[in-house]
């Protein structure tokens, strides 16, 4: 062979271009890579979606199919307590409820119920409702699929043995759901229950007083409230509960079991649409710096500072209202007004709640300079009864509010037809004379 001559493999090694196969398979490492690339990678993702993501979104967060709240027509609510019974803390909770003649629903741990049947017997004897919480207090997301379903059925069965009666309701630990939780509830024949107001008594950074204040701001008619009669949450709930019950009772609330709460039905499409519109109201309020009157969601009105938007308005005493004048503009609490309707109960509540609006006019810095109090809405018949002067709106404004009223009727399914939108207005002095300290409110 001469130097510089290129080496050529013998023809029997060149073959037809095929590479040698290893262990009778084609392609070696590259072939294995091609095999791996053909694996249906989407199957684990699909399984995770069906088992965890969809139930978490649809049931745990949207509460579809669960009991979440009742109607807001009456001042009643359902207090619920998780994680008991505990022989140290549960009796104190029962004592506080008994002192105020309040009923509640207890979601109990099966083993604790079996260990303390005397506490379960006391709950039932005093008119409370006993429901199932869990056999083992473990978050549904970290359980095996079969363990999640069996926990529901076993807890329901064991609690029923202690109470001597069928169990109607179940709430999983942390309110967490997977497909197994849903199937377990169906197999056990129980209705899932969530909540509309969470006390967060388990938070280490909240004092008992802070938990109570949080609840008083958030509780409204029809609320299902979750607290704890055992565990870390009980350390806040036990000292807080007597004062909470007394304050709510002074506001006219009665306390029901979940089964006794009027209008507590499983969340469906109409309820989801209603919640979406409530969320839209919150966005509107945040953008407009509108606050629930007295900081309470059970008030019939929400109030914010505003410049008067209309021209050519003159009050009955001849006082012109200039466009741009500083005002307090109030908006109705839509879900509460829908459930109450324009009726005697809504008139009585408006009389009470306008006194709180008057306090806000004096207390809130953003409202202290307001010269007028007004509302642009279709509830002008109620406003007229409450002593407001009412005036027709310009055609463009009336048309805009009519369209919005139709959208609201669709959003709040079952909302009654309302009157033509009008301006309802009083001067600050006239409003405070009627609803401020010393005012008649009539």
- The residues that are catalytic are 82, 228
- In angstroms, rounded to a whole number, what is the distance separating the alpha carbons of residues 68 and 344? 27
Which of helix, strand or coil describes residue 414?
coil
Tell me the torsion sign for CA atoms 386, 391, 396, 399.
positive
| Alpha carbon distance 165, 159 (integer Å) | 9
Query: Six-digit token pair at 49?
Result: 């979606």
Phi, psi (deg, nearest 5) at residue 258: -60, -45
Assigned token pair, 185: 């509830």
What 8-state DSSP symbol labels residue 224?
E
List strand residue ranges (DSSP E) for 243-352, in order.
254-256, 291-292, 301-307, 313-314, 320-321, 326-332
Q: Tell me how far apart the alpha carbons of residues 81 and 226 are, in angstroms, rounded to a whole number.
A: 6
- Between CA 123 and CA 90 the distance in angstroms is 10
**Of 337, 355, 354, 356, residue with least CA distance to 345:** 337
Q: What is the CA radius of gyration of the chain?
A: 31
Nearest to 425 by CA among 381, 372, 382: 372
In the numeric block, the tokens 């024949």 are attached to 189
CA distance 62 to 271: 10
């Amino acid at each position: 062979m001469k130097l510089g001559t290129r080496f050529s493999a013998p023809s029997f090694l060149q073959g037809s271009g095929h590479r040698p196969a290893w262990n009778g398979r084609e392609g070696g490492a590259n072939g294995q890579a091609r095999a791996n690339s053909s694996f249906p990678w989407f199957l684990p993702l699909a399984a995770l979606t069906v088992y965890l993501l969809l139930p978490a979104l649809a049931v745990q967060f949207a509460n579809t199919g669960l009991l979440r709240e009742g109607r807001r027509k009456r001042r009643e609510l359902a207090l619920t307590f998780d994680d008991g019974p505990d022989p140290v803390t549960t009796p104190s909770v029962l004592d506080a409820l008994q002192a105020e003649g309040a009923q509640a629903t207890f979601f109990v741990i099966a083993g604790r119920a079996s260990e303390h049947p005397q506490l379960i017997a006391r709950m039932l004897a005093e008119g409370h409702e006993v429901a199932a919480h869990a056999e083992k207090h473990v978050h549904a997301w970290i359980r095996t699929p079969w363990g999640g379903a069996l926990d529901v059925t076993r807890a329901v069965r064991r609690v029923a043995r202690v109470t001597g009666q069928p169990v109607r309701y179940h709430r999983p630990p942390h309110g967490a759901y997977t497909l197994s939780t849903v199937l377990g509830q169906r197999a056990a024949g129980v209705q899932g229950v969530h909540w509309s107001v969470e006390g967060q008594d388990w938070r280490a950074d909240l004092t008992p007083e802070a938990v109570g204040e949080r609840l008083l701001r958030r509780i409204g008619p029809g609320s299902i409230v979750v607290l704890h009669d055992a565990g870390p949450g009980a350390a806040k709930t036990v000292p807080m509960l007597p004062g909470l019950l007394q304050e709510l009772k002074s506001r006219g609330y009665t306390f029901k079991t979940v089964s006794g709460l009027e209008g507590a039905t499983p969340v469906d499409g109409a309820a989801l649409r209603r919640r979406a519109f409530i969320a839209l109201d919150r966005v509107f309020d945040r953008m407009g710096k509108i606050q629930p009157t007295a900081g309470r969601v059970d008030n019939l009105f929400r109030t914010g500072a505003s410049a008067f938007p209309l021209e050519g308005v003159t009050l009955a005493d001849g006082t012109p209202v200039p466009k741009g004048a500083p005002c307090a503009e109030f908006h109705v609490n839509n879900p509460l007004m829908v459930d109450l309707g324009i009726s005697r109960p809504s008139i009585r509540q408006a009389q009470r709640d306008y006194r709180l609006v008057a306090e806000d006019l004096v207390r809130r810095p953003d409202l202290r300079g307001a010269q007028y109090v007004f509302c642009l809405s279709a509830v002008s018949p109620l406003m007229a009864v409450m002593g407001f002067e009412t005036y027709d709106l310009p055609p463009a404004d009336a048309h805009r509010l009519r369209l919005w009223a139709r959208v609201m009727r669709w959003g709040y399914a079952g909302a009654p037809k309302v009157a033509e939108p009008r301006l309802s207005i009083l001067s600050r002095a006239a409003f405070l004379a009627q609803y401020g300290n010393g005012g008649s409110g009539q």
